[in-house]
Structure 1
Amino acid sequence: MTDAPTLNNPAFPRLNERAPDFNAPTTAGQKSLSDYEGKWLILFSHPADFTPVCTTEFMAFAKLQDEFAALNTELLGLSIDSHYAHIAWIRSIKENFGVDIKFPIIADLSMEVANAYGMIQPGASDTSAVRATFIIDPKGILRAMVYYPQTCGRSIAEFLRLVTALQTADTHSCAMPEAWQPGDKVIVPPPATAEAAEQRASEGYETVDWYFSKKAI
């Protein structure tokens, strides 16, 4: 039996490295990581189909799907359930809540994808995935990952904000302050030399100290 992924185990996904490859059955047929090349991808797991917290999260993802698409971002769900269970669940959501789940859901009965991404946390459950979310860029690089306990639903709007922030940071070579929203000022990378630090105040930024400057974009 292989060891479960840990932070010291190379099998555990790590930021700014290649996301683990997968080829898995979904509600839209087989899907591989390579299918999303050239697009951003949000891969997210949930503990089980037909559970109330997961249902609220899936409806929230569905309601923001067009906004994610405007950011060249695809959605891909996962749980350790069969694709028959997934199909029945999304039909139930449409029937009972009027929300159409249009993004694919991986059926991971073998737990292969869940283990590769560290979605199985033995302290929570050996047979259910926790609420893990992975943001993968168009080159297949893992840019962000967030884990939630089974009892607490995620804020899907935060992932929309996070994708926007990552894309903005890439485009403008900047960083984002706490709770940054589109239109807010961004943080200028601090100077790397004493000479550059001396010049920072005269560079036209909104500078509080040599290491802390903002600008509008």
Structure 2
Amino acid sequence: MANLQLGDTVPDFTQDSSEGEIKFYDWAGDSWVVLFSHPADYTPVCTTELGEVSRLKSEFDKRNAKVIALSVDDAESHKGWIGDINETQQTTVNYPILADSDNKVSDLYGMIHPNANAKLTVRTVFVIDPAKKLRLTITYPPSTGRNFEEILRVIDSLQLTDNYQVATPVNWKDGDDVVVVPSIPTEEAKQKFPKGVEEIKSYLRMTPQPNK
């Protein structure tokens, strides 16, 4: 079982899906990717999640992020489940669901946690950047539905902090003030961030979001 850690290059794979064969690196291209796993088709919590992601797809698109789900059932089963999702969640699933009946991708990405369930994938979210580096993982218990607004928030933070020497504080949302990274001296920060730098402590300096 893989033990993928932040900063690792994620493995490539070729696998069937609800939309045909997916060659992962080719499919991802130069986009960010949100890969999220499900224990099985026709599960109630995941039905609500897949519906929500289809509703939010335009938000992921704005961030140059592709979404792809995974379940251990086959593509035909996925197609039947998608019908239920569209009906019950009043939406249209508009992204692929990987068919991982052989557990190939689950094993590559370490989605089987034997002490939780030796046969089913845990419900993990992977955020992968265009360089195919793993930037975030969140693993949820089966009883708790995921918060995809939080996934969007993290992508906003990653894209901002990749491009500017800032970090995002607790509960940050796009447009809020950000933290100046500790490696920049305050005088240099004042030049770098002309909107102003507030020095609360020598190590805690805030500035308006630089790309707003």
Q: What TM-score comes out, normalization by structure 2 length?
A: 0.91
Q: Are 1:96 and 2:88 counterparts?
A: yes
Counterpart among 180, 185, 208 of residue 188 in structure 1:
180
Instruction: Quote the Cα distance in structure 2 between the aligned partners of 1:52 and 1:191.
Output: 47
Q: Are 1:55 and 2:67 counterparts?
A: no
Instruction: Quote the Cα distance in structure 1 between the aligned partners of 2:76 and 2:97.
Output: 11
Instruction: Quote the Cα distance in structure 1 between the aligned partners of 2:183 and 2:63.
Output: 31
1:70-122 Cα distance to aligned partner (Å, 9 max, x none): 11110000011111110000012223332111110000011010111111111
Unpaired runs of 5+ residues, structure 1, are 6-10
Counterpart among 128, 131, 138 of residue 123 in structure 2:
131
The answer to whether the 8 Å contact 1:45/1:130 transfers is yes
Match of 1:8 in 2: none
Report deviation, 1:126: 1.1
Instruction: Quote the Cα distance in structure 1 between the aligned partners of 2:36 and 2:90.
Output: 22
The SS at the match of 2:16 is strand
Which residue type is aligned with residue 121 of structure 2?
Answer: A
Q: Are 1:208 and 2:200 counterparts?
A: yes
Q: Are 1:67 and 2:53 counterparts?
A: no
Q: 1:209 and 1:19, CA in 2 relative to 1: closer, same or farther beyond 3 A?
A: same
Q: Are 1:40 and 2:40 counterparts?
A: no
The answer to whether the 8 Å contact 2:17/2:75 transfers is yes
The SS at the match of 2:21 is strand
The answer to whether the 8 Å contact 2:180/2:189 transfers is no
The answer to whether the 8 Å contact 1:37/1:139 transfers is no
**Share of identical aligned residues, percent?**
36
Which residue type is aligned with residue 41 of structure 1?
Answer: V
Which residue type is aligned with residue 77 of structure 2?
Answer: A
The answer to whether the 8 Å contact 2:72/2:120 transfers is yes
Match of 2:112 in 1: 120
Q: 1:202 and 1:79, CA in 2 relative to 1: closer, same or farther beyond 3 A?
A: closer
Instruction: Quote the Cα distance in structure 1 between the aligned partners of 2:118 and 2:181.
Output: 42
Match of 2:10 in 1: 19
Q: 1:28 and 1:70, CA in 2 relative to 1: closer, same or farther beyond 3 A?
A: same
Q: Where in structure 1 do 4 or more consecutive aligned residues deviate above 6 Å?
A: 200-203
Instruction: Quote the Cα distance in structure 2 between the aligned partners of 1:180 and 1:97.
Output: 29
The answer to whether the 8 Å contact 1:187/1:214 transfers is yes
Unpaired runs of 5+ residues, structure 2, are none
Match of 1:77 in 2: 69
The answer to whether the 8 Å contact 1:33/1:140 transfers is no
